Amino acid sequence: MDYLRNLGSAAVSTLVQKSGINLPFTLGPKVASCETLWVLYDATKRDDGSPVSVFEYDFVHPLNKSTIPLAKNALRKLRTIRHPDVLKFMDVVESESAILIMTERVRPLSTALQAWASKSQQERQDWLLWGLHRISVALSFINDSVASTHGNVRPSAIFISPSGEWKLGGFEVLSNPKDDNPVLYTMGGMLPGSMSSASPEVKKSGWSILKDGPISAADSYALGLLLHTVFNPTHPPPETTEPPHPPPQHSSRGSIPPSVFPSFKKLLNPNPKGRMTPKTFLETGMAETAGEGSGFFSSNRLVKVCAGLDNFSLSSEAEKATLLRTLKESASSFPPEFASFRILPSLATALEYGGASATTIVPLVLQFGTNIPHDEYMNIILGPLVRLFSSPDRGTRMALLDNLAEYADKLDKKTVVDKVWPNIQSGFTDTVPVIREATIRAIVVLSPKLSDRILNNDLLRHLARLQSDPEASIRTNTCILIGRLGPTLGYNTKQKVLVPAFSKALKILFCMHGWRG
C-alpha cells in the first residue's frame, strides 16, 4: 500500500478498483498532518459528487500488524455510535489488504489550529471554547449513554467539519467494560503516542487499571490535557502530568481563560475518583448564571448561536427575533465557514416553518450568502430558496418576491422555467392583493429567463385577466409590465396584444399609484 500511496490517490483508486473492489467514492489528494494509524484522503461520493473523507488503514504495512485489532475496533465503534458531535460514518470498503472508511468531509484539528493562530485572541478563544463544548458533549454521551471510555482524547482524534465544528473520532481503543474483548484494557498502550495523554493511574499501573475505576476517569484527564494543548500550543505539558503530579499552578495557566482554569485543575486531579467528569465540566460551562469558574460555554457567542439555531422551531417569537437580530448585527464577525455551512443551512431549514420570521430570514440568508463561492451558491443559497417558492405560507412567498432582485441574476433559465415559474404564477390569482402586485413586479427581473412559450402565452393570459383586477395599482402595474415586455414579445403577439391592452387601459378609470418596485 505504500507503493500505491506513492503513486498518488488517483492511482490508488485505479489499482484498488482493478482488484475487484467497488468503491463508493473517488479518492482525491492525501490530507497532510493526520497523525493517526490511518491515512486521510479528501474524496468525493461517487453517486452524487458530494465531498467526503476517506480513512485508509493498511493491513500490509509491517508496522501495522500489531494494531489491526485497534483499526477493526475503530470501524466497529464508528459504525454503531451516532451523535452530531461524533465523526459521521457513511460507508466502508474492506479487503484483505485495507480498510477504507468513508465519512463526512473533515480535516485534522492540527491544520485548523494553525489557521486560527493568526486570528485575534478573542476570536480564537471563542472558537476554541465552542470546539471544546462540542467535544465535552460528545464525551458525556460516550461515557454516560454508551457507558464507554474513549481512551484516546487528544488533538489527533479530533476533526473539523466544513462548518468549523469539532468532531470526535479516534475510536481505536474506545471500549465498554462489558464488551467481549475491550481493547482499551489490554492494548491501550499499543496506540502510538498513547502515553502522552495517559492519566496518572495508567502511568503507574497500566491500562487495565481503568476497568475498575470510573468510566470517565481517563477521558476527564485527557480532556484537561487537550484544553491545555489547544490554548497553549507552544507550551510543554503541565508539570502535573509527571510524578508526584502536583496541582496545576496559576503560573501555568497561559492562555487558558480565567473562568475555565478552576475546571481545568479539577480535570487533572491525580485521584480518578475525585476528578471532574466531562459531564460536570459541560454542566459547569453551561451554567446560566456565569459566576466565578462557570458559564464559560453559555456565554460563548458561537455556542449561543448554535443553540438558538438548533431550537429555532421551538423558540418563542421574542427569542426568534432576538436571535435573528444578533445574526444581522454580527454577520461580518462570524468565521466564514461557520456562516456558510452552519448558519446558512439552519436559516434555510427555519424558513420551512414559514410565518412572520420569513421577512427577516430571507434577507439574512442573502446577506450571509455574499461570501459564498459561485460554484457553491446554487446548493447553499439558491437551492433552498427555489424550493421555498412552493410554500403555501404567504409570509415566505412575499419575502421571496420582495428580495428576488438580490438573487434573480444567479438563477439559470432552466431553474426559472422548471421550478420557479410553475410556483410563482399562482401569485397572479392569489386572493391577497399585495401578493398579486408583488408577483407582477417580480416578473420584471425574471422575464429575461422565461421561455418564449411562457412569455407569449401563459404570462400574457395572466396579465390579460389582471387588467380587470379590482385593485387600481395592480391594473396600473400590469399595464406598465406589458409595456416593458413589449420588446421581448414575438411580432405576431405584439400586434394581437399590445394595442388591445393599451386601449383597454385607457378606458379604465383608476387612481394612479405608480410603479412600486
Q: Per residue in 181-209, pLDDT tens? A: 999 999 999 999 999 999 999 999 999 99
Judged against a pLDDT cut of 60, whether residue 140 lies above it is answered with yes
pLDDT at residue 350 greater than cutoff 70: yes
User: Which tens digit of pLDDT belongs to each residue from 25-38?
Assistant: 999 999 975 667 89
- The grid cell for 476 is 396600473
Residues in Cβ contact with 251 at an 8 Å cutoff, skipping those fewer than 6 apart: none
Closest alpha carbon to 227 in 269, 257, 191, 188 = 257
Q: Could you tell me if 153 and 196 are in contact, meaning their C-beta atoms sit under 8 angstroms apart?
A: no
What three-state secondary structure class fits 40? strand
Among 44-53, 107-116, 286-295, the minimum mean pLDDT is found in 286-295
Task: Output the average pLDDT for the chain.
Answer: 88
Relative orientation angle of helices 121-140 and 301-310, to the nearest 10 degrees: 50
The whole model's pTM is what? 0.86
Cell match 493511574: residue? 201
Average the pLDDT over 362-375 and give the result: 88
Contact 244, 253 (CB under 8 A): no
Asked if residue 165 has pLDDT above 60, the reply is yes
